[in-house]
């Protein structure tokens, strides 16, 4: 939307935008933008707080009074303390703990497959209840999740990794699609349990910091980032969010 605003302004219509990722907005230079320090997907703060949301909207619309730009202002308030309070969320299953294996690659793959087996009933329940899934960007069906995590686990430990049967994309581009499908499987399964829904931060923290898949994703990203091949280095973008890369695992 930041880039699109340049074209809209060229037709004589003033625009304002709300930014959730400040570095992107700095690069794009939209005519008028308000950066907010909120969770991704919540540009107005938290649900059920109309007064707070109104203040955010008023601050954004006030930028329309600026005759020219680019203008990038920071919203001065964070969400109210306790404003996102809810009952504590927990993953619907107990995930496997560290276990000995024959080799590092086999150990990681074994733990990942155990994790997938525990999550599979909840994933199937999520797909049945919602009538849809975001799994499939790799061209594979959800039944191929075992092959996906095994391929990623092998690559993560430096072992030879073949393309899962049925895929048409080549490495390293395929890694992005495989990791996206694995994330979809995990997050849809984790949110299928009735009760309190996790916030985006809780779900991301669980995925990247508490699961075997998270460990695999960190290793895959690290191996791609350290590659001498430019295409492999490009492929690592988006596998682990920047905030978690900085924190490490």
3-state secondary structure of 12: coil
Query: Contact, 207 vs 183, CB < 8 A?
Result: yes
Beta strands in the chain (DSSP E): 17-19, 32-35, 71-74
Stretch 174-200: mean pLDDT:
88
**90 DSSP 8-state letter:** -
Does the pLDDT value for residue 244 go beyond 80? no
Residues 6 or more apart from 204 whose CB is under 8 A from it? Answer: 241, 244
Average pLDDT over the chain, rounded to whole? 84
Segment 177-202 shows an average pLDDT of 87
- The pLDDT score that the predictor gives to residue 236 is 86
Locate the domains of the chain by residue range: 2-74, 104-247
Count how many Cα atoms sit within 13 Å of the Cα of residue 125 in the half-sphere of its side chain: 14
| Mean pLDDT, residues 29-33 | 90
- Residue given tokens 């080799």 in the structure block: 103
- Any idea which of 6-15, 144-153, 206-215 has the lowest mean pLDDT? 6-15
- Give pLDDT tens digits for 79-123: 776 555 555 566 767 666 545 444 566 788 888 999 999 999 999
pLDDT at 5 over 90: no
Q: For residue 103, what pLDDT is reported?
A: 54
Distance CA 61, CA 34 (A): 9
- Name which of 169, 206, 174, 188 is nearest 89 in CA terms: 206
pTM comes to: 0.68
pLDDT at 54 over 50: yes
Q: 21-30, 82-91, 133-142, 200-209: which has the minimum mean pLDDT?
A: 82-91
Q: What is the pLDDT of residue 29?
A: 86
């Amino acid at each position: 939307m930041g880039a699109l605003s340049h074209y809209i302004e060229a037709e004589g219509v003033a625009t304002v935008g709300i930014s959730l990722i400040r570095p992107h907005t700095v690069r794009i230079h939209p005519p008028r933008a308000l950066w907010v320090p909120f969770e991704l997907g919540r540009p107005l703060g938290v649900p059920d707080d109309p007064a707070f949301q109104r203040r955010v909207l008023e601050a954004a619309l006030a930028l329309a009074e600026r005759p020219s730009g680019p203008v990038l202002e920071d919203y001065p308030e964070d969400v109210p303390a306790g404003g996102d309070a809810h009952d504590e969320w927990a993953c619907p299953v107990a995930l496997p703990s560290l276990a000995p294996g024959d080799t590092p690659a086999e150990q990681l793959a074994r733990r990942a497959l155990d994790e997938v087996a525990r999550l599979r009933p909840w994933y199937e329940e999520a797909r049945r209840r919602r009538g849809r899934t975001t799994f499939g960007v790799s061209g594979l069906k959800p039944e191929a999740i075992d092959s996906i995590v095994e391929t990623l686990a092998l690559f993560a430990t430096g072992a030879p990794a073949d393309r899962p049967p049925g895929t048409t994309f080549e490495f390293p581009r395929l890694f992005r699609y495989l990791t996206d499908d694995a994330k979809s499987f995990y997050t849809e399964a984790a949110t299928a349990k009735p009760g309190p829904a996790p916030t985006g931060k809780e779900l991301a923290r669980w995925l990247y910091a508490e699961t075997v898949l998270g460990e695999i994703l960190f290793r895959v990203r690290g191996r791609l980032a350290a590659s001498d091949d430019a295409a492999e280095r490009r492929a690592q973008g988006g596998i682990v969010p920047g905030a978690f890369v900085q924190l490490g695992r």
